[in-house]
Structure 1
Amino acid sequence: MSEITKQKGASSSTPSPFMRWLTSKLMNYISSEKRQTKLRNKREAKRIKEGRKHVVEYFHQVDDGYSHLAIQTLSKLKAQYDIKLVVHLVPPASDDNFPEPELWKQMSVADAKRIAPFYGLEFDSQNTPPEQSLVQMAAAIFCNLNSEEVIDIGAEISAYLWRGDKEALARLAHQYGSASLDELHAKYELATARRSELKHYNPAMFHYEGEWYWGVDRLYHLENRLNALGATTNDMVPLGKVPLDKVPLDKIPLIAPRPEVASQFGENASTLTLEFFVSLRSPYTAIAWDPTIKFAKQSGINLVVKPVLPMVMRGVPATKEKKIYIATDVAREARALNVEYGNFYDPIGEPVLRGYSLYMWALTQNKGNDLLCAFLKAAFARGVNCNKHQGIQQVAENAGLDWREARLHLHDDNWQQLLEDNRLSMYEFGSWGVPSYRLLDQNENEVLAVWGQDRLWLVAQKVKELSE
């Protein structure tokens, strides 16, 4: 168990009023659709002026589950889009961007294996990372290949690695050669430097003209962008022989479309319980809230919301690169989901603590979820400064609470044990961040546990299966 896992208690992390205002303004600007459009147009004009092809760079980590899925899409991307694919081989990261490297590795395997069939991909392995000796073999083969060769046979190498097929890897090593350890480290250094230059840290990442796209989950954003630019290899779409420029962008078939959240369920859904782990300073929680509530109502499932302290307020570090990527990614996701989001006023520190103080009292008024919803809307969608009394009053009143009584509970500290218990419950199923979901059957046995707003569709799919 790491020090992060052991971490508990709260740090107020309260910035000065000016820094809170400045940070909020900067994040709103960085994540705005106007800025995204402006940057995309600028990059496209520069690309055309310089006569460059559409260049997509992909960063692969051989023992990362999400990378195993992503590499299976490379040949499809190359066939469908008029792009040049450049593949970089990166080592496992061990810095502040990965506070729980072992949990991350385990999650990347289990999670990637669960979602693979829904993307038409394969993940034939046990729910454990491959043996280190096989990882070294695969990495040495990858290191000896150029980008075109990785596109052609990379998925095959990765499949043998995850199956634990040492003989097959040995055959490929004999056929394509293996790099030395020094050569591998040199390639790692170059790839890591390139990724840092482009301001990222994750494996399984695609980069195109100033924007990052994580694995198969965000590939649809990249595909939509390429389609909007007309960067396709075919003049005709597969169905109907309609000229591509006459087809609405949302109708063009994608290699990795975003899975839809099911909306039809059987009667037995009401016997299931969904635990929804959230935080009042999590942008991904903010965009997951409405879809999750909608899903719970449609399915009739028993929804139990479990708040925890924000990561940064329990000692989990966050680099500048990570903050900027999250800000831009969550805004892009919010626009795709068509949820209310974007006018952010950072609630870190005292506002969050006050929110949890009010939450405990709101529970006694049967308004706990209303309070959390009102706070998230205020902080992430409506630009309300919850550090001011007027702001937190607005939150309370929007939740249907009497402010005259609510203000008496602003500094209650009886929330601490509940939030700590929720955090520990989250770690039990291998998650350390929010939003996370845990699905329980009628006997309260765990049937599914996942991290991320982009796994609500998987939860809904499981509920659909169990309820019919």
Structure 2
Amino acid sequence: MSRRTETLGRLRMLPLHAERLSVGRLPRALFRKLRGRAREVRFFHRVDDPESLLILEGLVRLRVHVPLSIELIVVPEPSADFDPEPARSMARKRRDAHELSIRHGLEPLPETIEAPPPARVRMIQATLLAAEAKEERLVLASELGRALFRDDGERIAEAARDLPPLSSLDLRLTLEANYKRLRSDGFYEGACFSSESERFIGVESLGDFEARVRGIDEPERSPARHRRPGPFVRQRVVFLGSLERASDAMGFLALHPHRDSLELHAELIRPFRFEGMRVPEERLERDRREAFEFARRAGLRFGPFHEQNELGMARAHALFALGRDQGNAVDLLATIYRAIWLEARDFSSEGDLMRVASDAALGEEIAREAVARSGEPGLMPPLATERLEELELPEGPVFCGQGFAYSGLDRFPLLMARLSRTS
């Protein structure tokens, strides 16, 4: 089986797999309703992650409409092989927490949140694990999380005195066991939950979960709302992304239709794996899954795609570098993204490369020059760390402009809201 056939086969299974899951859930959901039982939710909570706190409070609020039995499982930071830039990942979450809390109709978090002291984080972890009652743990997690992010060390110490925490050894062993549970559920970091064989990651997934459990088409805070942005005032928006990541492609293709309303600029970067950092296959698979789900919600097509080899990627980079000076770099990048992630074009094939160049209205000479000069340092984009370090952002589709910088598909609704607010 060729690499292309294997890739296409795996992609075709995505919607079929999702359909099988939904059919398999029906008997359990009907049985639960007939018995009048609450829907079970397994929530993996990272106490120093403000997004995890917002998920918790969103789930608790949802119990007004739907009976939920929430099991809160305290987990530590993700393993180093999954997140090579943990400091940037958490800085991103702290920076966006205030906007996210307002967007989801929750009590606003502080506009500025500093990295919390590790000792306070451990104290909250131990206190929550010592709370045996399920409801008590939920209340404490919300109260102590709010105290942590407003720098209220006294409230955290008071809770530790009222409820003696676990020992350091018990804390470490329990967190390790909880992280194994998280991985066995198919997750890699906190701020996520599962319910009836479905997995939900990040605060933006609350909208999908609410729509599912309440049986409504689209709640007010659904991520699907970014399909109906308001009119934009023309302003500069810079996109930073790589050709190798499906999520970068979907983020750019979702913004591309609004290019006439914005001053949109596009820059390519090379992802961390080109800097010698090991990126697990599970993380790449999660990126593709996230791109697939985003495309489904946004009404975009995703697949069939072709995973480019080193030669194909070098030629794609060369085509972009040489072609952007000949015309519209934004439309050229959209054409290349579609070729890789929607049309399964193989850039190591000169025939496919010529067809992509033709689709982008580039001359045959540009395509042949891309073949001849592929791999030249001057035609390769900068490494991710070189561009993202100044923005203090992790990998992901990055959108930045005057007064804002967002990273990740899960921040696309914030971007749309920001661009609409300026109109």
Closer, same or farther in 2 for the Cα pair 1:129/1:62, shift >3 Å? Answer: same
Matched, 1:202 2:201: no
Question: Are 2:5 and 1:38 aligned?
Answer: no
Which residue does 2:81 correspond to in 1? Answer: 96
Letter in 2 for 1:103: R
**1:183 shift after superposition:** 2.8
The worse-fitting range, judged by mean Cα deviation, of 417-426 and 218-227 is: 417-426
Pick aligned residue for 1:183 from 154, 170, 180:
170
In the alignment, does 2:12 pair up with 1:25? no
- Relative to the length of structure 2, the TM-score reads 0.89
Note closer, same or farther for the CA distance 1:61–1:115 as it changes in structure 2 (3 Å cut): same
In structure 2, C-alpha distance between the alignment counterparts of 1:431 and 1:417, rounded to whole Å: 24
Give the corresponding residue for 1:192: 179
Residue 113 (structure 1) shift: 2.9
The alignment partner of 1:203 has SS state of coil
Which residue matches 1:455? Answer: 411
The residue correspondences of 1:52-201 to structure 2 (distance < 5 A) are 54-121=39-106, 122-124=108-110, 126-145=112-131, 146-201=133-188
Q: What SS does the corresponding residue of 1:155 show, helix, strand or coil?
A: helix
Match of 1:321 among 274, 279, 282: 282
C-alpha deviation, 1:107, in angstroms: 1.6
The alignment's C-alpha RMSD in Å is 2.7
SS in structure 1 opposite 2:229?
A: coil
After TM superposition, give the deviation of residue 100 of structure 1 in Å. Answer: 0.7
Instruction: Report the counterpart of residue 278 of structure 1 in structure 2.
Output: 241
Aligned partner of residue 56 in structure 1, secondary structure: strand
Deviation of 1:335 (Å): 0.7
Deviation at 1:62, TM superposition (A): 0.9
Q: CA deviation at 1:345?
A: 1.6
Is the contact made by 1:24 and 1:346 (CA closer than 8 Å) also made in structure 2? no
More divergent stretch after superposition (322-331 vs 301-310): 322-331
1:263 corresponds in structure 2 to 230
Cα distance in structure 2, aligned partners of 1:418 and 1:273: 24
CA distance in 2: counterparts of 1:168 and 1:66, whole angstroms: 21
- Check the 8 A contact 2:98/2:109 in 1, yes or no: yes
Distance (whole Å) between structure 1 residues aligned to residue 327 and residue 222 of structure 2: 41
TM value normalised by structure 1: 0.81
Q: Which moved more, 1:307-316 or 1:139-148?
A: 307-316
| 8 Å contact kept, 1:288–1:435 | yes
Alpha-carbon spacing, 1:256–1:294, altered in 2? closer, same or farther (3 Å): closer
- Quote the residue 2:260 is aligned against: 297
Question: Which deviates further from its counterpart, 428-437 or 217-226?
Answer: 217-226
Q: Cα deviations across residues 276-321 of structure 1 (Å, max 9, x unaligned)?
A: 10211221122122321223322xx322101112443343332233
Q: Which residue of structure 2 aligns with residue 433 of structure 1?
A: 395
Q: Does 1:354 align with 2:315?
A: yes
Q: Which amino acid aligns with 2:121?
A: V
**Which position in structure 2 is the counterpart of 1:335?**
296
Counterpart CA distance in 2 for 1:414 and 1:136 is: 49
Deviations 1:199-238 (A, max 9, x none): 221110111233321121122222233344xxxxxxxxxx
Does residue 250 of the first structure (1) align with residue 250 of the second (2)? Answer: no
Partner of 1:12: none
Residues 230-285 of structure 1: per-residue CA shift (max 9 Å, x gap): xxxxxxxxxxxxxxxxxxx325x35665553632234xx3xx32111021122112
* 1:83 to 1:464, Cα distance in 2 relative to 1, 3 A: closer
Identity of aligned residues (%): 21
Figure out how many residues of one structure are paired with residues of the other and give that number: 416
Q: Does 1:391 align with 2:352?
A: yes
Q: How much has 1:329 moved relative to structure 2?
A: 2.4
**Stretch deviating more after TM superposition (69-78 or 355-364):** 69-78
The residue matched to 2:368 in structure 1 has which SS?
Answer: helix
Structure 1 CA distance for aligned equivalents of residues 62 and 317 of structure 2: 46
In structure 1, stretches of 5+ residues that fail to align are: 1-16, 229-248, 441-446
Equivalent residue for 1:211? 198
Give a deviation string over 1:387-429, Cα, whole Å, max 9, x none.
3222222211111112354223224245647621775222211
Any conservation in 2 of the 1:439–1:459 contact (CA below 8 Å)? no
Could you say what secondary structure the match of 1:161 adopts? Answer: helix
| Equivalent residues of 1:58, 1:85 under 8 A apart | yes
- Whether 2:338 is the aligned partner of 1:377: answer yes
Match of 1:424 among 369, 383, 386: 386
Q: Indicate the SS of the match to 2:266.
A: strand
Q: Conserved in 1, the CA contact under 8 Å of 2:82 and 2:279? A: yes
Instruction: Give, in whole Å, the separation in 1 of the partners of 2:142 and 2:224.
Output: 22
Structure 2 unaligned regions, length at least 5: none
Q: CA deviation at 1:331?
A: 0.9
Question: Which amino acid is the alignment partner of residue 411 of structure 2?
Answer: R
**1:167-211, Cα deviation, whole Å (9 max, x unpaired):** 222332333442222332232122111111112211101112333
Distance 1:454 1:259, change over 3 A: farther
